[in-house]
Amino acid sequence: MKNLFIPLALSAALCLPVQAQQFDDFFENKTLRTDYIFTGDAHKQEVYLDELSALPQWAGRKHHLNELPLAGNGEITMKDKASGQVIYRTSFSSLFQEWLGEEEATRVKKGFENSFLLPFPKKEVIVTVELKNAHHQVCASLTHEVRPNDILIHQRGNARITPHRYLHQSGNLEDCIDVAILAEGYTEAEMDLFYKDAEATCEALFNHEPFKKLKNRFNIVAVASPSEDSGVSIPGQNEWKSTAVSSHFNTFYSDRYLTTSRVKSIHNWLAGIPYEHIIILANTDTYGGGGIYNSYTLTTAHHPMFKPVVVHEFGHSFGGLADEYAYTDAPSPLYPYHIEPWEQNITTLVDFESKWKDMVPEGTPVPTPVKTDKDEIFTSVGVYEGAGYTLKGIYRPVTECRMKINEAPAFCPVCQRALERLILFYTEKE
**What's the rounded Cα separation, in Å, for the pair 417 and 67?**
19
**What's the rounded Cα separation, in Å, for the pair 111 and 48?**
10
Contact between 77 and Zn ion per CB under 5 A: no
> Which string of x and - marks every residue 342-381 that binds Zn ion (by CB under 5 A)?
---x------------------------------------
**What's the rounded Cα separation, in Å, for the pair 241 and 27?**
41
DSSP label at residue 164? E
If we measure between CA atoms, which residue out of 58, 90, 137 comes closest to residue 336? 137
Size of the site for Zn ion (CB under 5 A): 5
The least distance separating Zn ion from the CB of residue 258, rounded to whole angstroms, comes to: 23
Q: Which residue stretch of 108-116, 257-265, 327-335, 414-422 sits at the interface with Zn ion (rule: CB under 5 A)?
A: 414-422
Residue from 32, 37, 401, 418 that binds Zn ion (CB under 5 A)?
401
Nearer CB in complex with Zn ion: 40/397: 397
User: Which residues on adjacent β-strands are paired with residue 222?
Assistant: 165, 181
Q: Which residue stretch of 78-86, 243-251, 295-303, 405-413 sits at the interface with Zn ion (rule: CB under 5 A)?
A: 405-413
The least distance separating Zn ion from the CB of residue 349, rounded to whole angstroms, comes to: 17
The least distance separating Zn ion from the CB of residue 201, rounded to whole angstroms, comes to: 20
Residue type, 211: F
> Which string of x and - marks every residue 40-59 that binds Zn ion (by CB under 5 A)?
--------------------
If we measure between CA atoms, which residue out of 304, 184, 198, 314 comes closest to residue 248? 184
Nearer CB in complex with Zn ion: 37/321: 321
Nearer CB in complex with Zn ion: 202/415: 415
Q: Give the 3-state secondary structure percentages of the chain, helix then strand then coil, rounded to 5.
A: 25, 30, 45
Contact between 403 and Zn ion per CB under 5 A: yes
How many Cβ atoms from other residues are within 10 Å of residue 242's Cβ?
10
The least distance separating Zn ion from the CB of residue 319, rounded to whole angstroms, comes to: 10
Strands (E), 56-170: 74-80, 86-92, 110-121, 125-132, 138-146, 154-155, 164-168
User: Which residues on adjacent β-strands are paired with residue 57?
Assistant: none
Residue from 59, 100, 415, 418 that binds Zn ion (CB under 5 A)?
415
The least distance separating Zn ion from the CB of residue 375, rounded to whole angstroms, comes to: 16
Coil/strand/helix, residue 132: strand
Side-chain-side CA neighbours of residue 300 (13 Å) = 20
The least distance separating Zn ion from the CB of residue 292, rounded to whole angstroms, comes to: 18
If we measure between CA atoms, which residue out of 182, 296, 174 comes closest to residue 244? 182
The least distance separating Zn ion from the CB of residue 318, rounded to whole angstroms, comes to: 14
Residue from 273, 412, 419, 422 that binds Zn ion (CB under 5 A)?
412
CA 41 to chain centre: 23
Between the CA of residue 80 and those of 89, 226, 246, what are the distances in Å? 12, 40, 37
How many Cβ atoms from other residues are within 10 Å of residue 163's Cβ?
13
Contact between 180 and Zn ion per CB under 5 A: no
Nearer CB in complex with Zn ion: 223/418: 418
Q: Which residue stretch of 203-211, 228-236, 383-391, 410-418 sits at the interface with Zn ion (rule: CB under 5 A)?
A: 410-418
Nearer CB in complex with Zn ion: 334/401: 401
Judged by the rule CB under 5 A, the positions of this chain that interact with Zn ion are 345, 401, 403, 412, 415
